[in-house]
Structure 1
């Protein structure tokens, strides 16, 4: 039985887009005769340390390390604290003797875990690249210092080089990683999947989110649910809401938390945009209800982000049969995917009028909206399902361990 060490930057206690991915991957690996040793952090205690699906699993060992909750604006402090966390993880896993391969999760300080594993454990590493550091930070304006960005880019290239395999979440990201000098043979695109066992459309009358906030069935809800951080283009949302404010039955649902949320709320109030409503983050078990509560979804990303990261909510929305309007880079594979498969509309993130027109097109044509949602649902089942994509990881780990034995 192969034992895979998971070194995760965040723990299940802290809500995040990777929680359902890590949880379902570990569960499916355990069901495929793997042992898993999970090292995770505990920061917010919003959720339990483990989801119910992983509790009591015979071949799962879990080590949880308490960490401080640090503001994202405290960039230097966060970086050093994350680096320290890698060494704290090392103190745990260096005592474990039967590890066959290691899974490391995206974070700016991933290089520390990779170096420690290579020096002391000497086992093959699969690096799961969810967000290309420092690309997203540079393109979103968080990291403007050219010297620092160059240093971090060099460090990241070293992380790619020292890893045995890299998984990326889109063809756009594969292109970006290849441009960093990584051989294509090391790179495997595996999309962020939805859990086809639990995520599904919830009817309006049975929807807990609808009931909780007493939503009106007569309104056309344009929803963004997720992290309102630096890659999220809240200014685009405001521009589009301004263009569409004469449509009194169109309402923008902004659901979640993030470093930009307070600033977003303040600017909405200053502009008196009453068609934008804010809602708090909902627990993981409300995913289907939240995404089913909208008429369509809006995914607004800043320019240059899509190659460095990909919205994990796309597959979830497909599972809930919702058409998606994307505000993204025109030259991206992600942009083309929606338009070519007619399962949503992608518009340039440099053109708020085009985004507004895409929303209006679906607002005025219910039949087209439903057809796009249905096509997206079929596309999601074919390419974004849990069963398909976790099996790709299982195959990679099996081959990685066997190759290392030889």
Structure 2
């Protein structure tokens, strides 16, 4: 008898980035609903600093199988591609064992991974669901990371034609991503696309106002207003608009900008702040656990951004943590994104277009100057989260989609 679900992803428990925690929490919730769930993932390295973990492990009823692959520098284009193919080949060696499932759910990272469930579905009647965290190679082309008309683009276009075409369902993280898929001809049947956003777990947010990190506590006592940017500072993020806005407010002693996270623009952010002698801004590394909770507690508003043209290709999941903490969000992205629409509909912050640093400054000063507006926006931000982005809401949508896929051939 076939098992219910296999989830294929590069990152999983115990790694701590959202691309690991999201499939982990999904698997936990599917187990709670009575499904059998196996995981085939990469061995933790890049986003894990604990003791060595076993190749095979049972965690909360989930059967985890991990594969080891190369550890070249992911910041290097060659290193990243080598790691992608190494991981793919390590999974390919397990190919004969992948036919025992009713449904395979596969994530878009690395972008060649979904080719395997496509092949399984062609050989057997196994259903497969493709979760598009982003759309490759479109994102790489937009950001100039690969050459238009080159081998990688042609290879990925061929893979996408098969993966999007034969998937039982394709998950888009937002309506703008769904529209992009349709416009680009990736999916011909609109009903195949399921819009399911990412989420944030409420158990990561505490109701206590106590700040345990001594440094953060001192910052909160010193600065009347704190603006937070947390998460990836990479090619897909517009950091220039934020930094230009910070420069406009550099002489103010009543506002502090905090940047925390990682990415290939993190060093650029540090250098910019230093070279422009900006004293009311600081950069921290990637924060975990209570440190991340504390940084959210001391912040008044939070920033999220996308580079121009990335809308529809990716969705910044850090937004959901901000909303869960009841923080107004100021977004640098198109008006047509779900995030921007949510913020305006609920009056929980706002958005500006890339390059509109002056308008971002005005938005920040609006909340600096009116504590009542800030408190209302905070309450509204939490309401967005409760209505749209709670974990149970989103994982329930996955459960129903998986059950629909499993039952599709049984009727």
CA contact under 8 A between 1:222 and 1:297: conserved in structure 2?
A: yes
Distance 1:324 1:47, change over 3 A: farther
SS in 1 for 2:409: helix
Deviations 1:58-114 (A, max 9, x none): 3x2111112333323432442243133223223235225631110101122234323
Aligned to 2:60: 57
SS in 2 for 1:157: helix
In structure 2, C-alpha distance between the alignment counterparts of 1:140 and 1:291, rounded to whole Å: 30
In structure 2, C-alpha distance between the alignment counterparts of 1:90 and 1:336, rounded to whole Å: 41
1:112 has 2:89 as partner:
no
1:233 has 2:233 as partner:
no
1:384 has 2:385 as partner:
no
Aligned to 2:5: 4
Q: When the two structures are aligned, how many residues end up with a matched partner?
A: 400
Aligned to 1:16: 17
> Given the alignment, which residue of 157, 164, 174 partners 2:178?
174
1:216 has 2:220 as partner:
yes
1:342 has 2:347 as partner:
yes
CA contact under 8 A between 2:118 and 2:167: conserved in structure 1?
A: no
> Given the alignment, which residue of 116, 120, 128 partners 2:131?
128
Aligned to 1:272: 277
Question: Please, which moves more after superposition, 181-190 or 149-158?
Answer: 149-158
User: Aligned-residue CA RMSD in angstroms?
Assistant: 2.4
> Given the alignment, which residue of 258, 263, 266 partners 2:268?
263
1:141 has 2:162 as partner:
no
TM-score (norm 2): 0.89
Q: Which runs of 5+ in 2 are unaligned?
A: none
SS in 1 for 2:194: strand
Q: Which runs of 5+ in 1 are unaligned?
A: none
TM-score (norm 1): 0.90
CA contact under 8 A between 2:41 and 2:65: conserved in structure 1?
A: yes
Distance 1:202 1:136, change over 3 A: farther
CA contact under 8 A between 2:342 and 2:384: conserved in structure 1?
A: no
Question: Please, which moves more after superposition, 222-231 or 1-10?
Answer: 1-10
Aligned to 2:105: 103
In structure 1, C-alpha distance between the alignment counterparts of 2:122 and 2:195, rounded to whole Å: 27
Distance 1:31 1:10, change over 3 A: same
Q: CA deviation at 1:228?
A: 1.3
CA contact under 8 A between 2:305 and 2:316: conserved in structure 1?
A: no
Aligned to 1:185: 191
> Given the alignment, which residue of 281, 303, 311 partners 1:306?
311
In structure 2, C-alpha distance between the alignment counterparts of 1:39 and 1:392, rounded to whole Å: 22
Q: CA deviation at 1:36?
A: 0.8
SS in 1 for 2:251: coil
1:194 has 2:200 as partner:
yes
Distance 1:376 1:176, change over 3 A: same
Q: CA deviation at 1:213?
A: 6.7
In structure 2, C-alpha distance between the alignment counterparts of 1:269 and 1:168, rounded to whole Å: 39
In structure 2, C-alpha distance between the alignment counterparts of 1:271 and 1:85, rounded to whole Å: 42
Aligned to 1:32: 33
In structure 2, C-alpha distance between the alignment counterparts of 1:251 and 1:328, rounded to whole Å: 22
In structure 2, C-alpha distance between the alignment counterparts of 1:73 and 1:403, rounded to whole Å: 42
Question: Please, which moves more after superposition, 155-164 or 24-33?
Answer: 155-164
CA contact under 8 A between 2:146 and 2:152: conserved in structure 1?
A: yes
CA contact under 8 A between 1:210 and 1:293: conserved in structure 2?
A: no
Q: CA deviation at 1:327?
A: 0.9
In structure 2, C-alpha distance between the alignment counterparts of 1:48 and 1:161, rounded to whole Å: 41
Deviations 1:338-382 (A, max 9, x none): 123211111111211011111111111111111011011112101
Question: Please, which moves more after superposition, 125-134 or 259-268?
Answer: 259-268
Question: Please, which moves more after superposition, 155-164 or 31-40?
Answer: 155-164
In structure 2, C-alpha distance between the alignment counterparts of 1:49 and 1:303, rounded to whole Å: 40
Q: CA deviation at 1:286?
A: 4.5
CA contact under 8 A between 2:220 and 2:298: conserved in structure 1?
A: no
Deviations 1:124-143 (A, max 9, x none): 11111111112222333333
SS in 1 for 2:12: coil
Aligned to 2:162: 158
Distance 1:284 1:115, change over 3 A: farther
SS in 2 for 1:15: coil
Q: CA deviation at 1:15?
A: 3.2
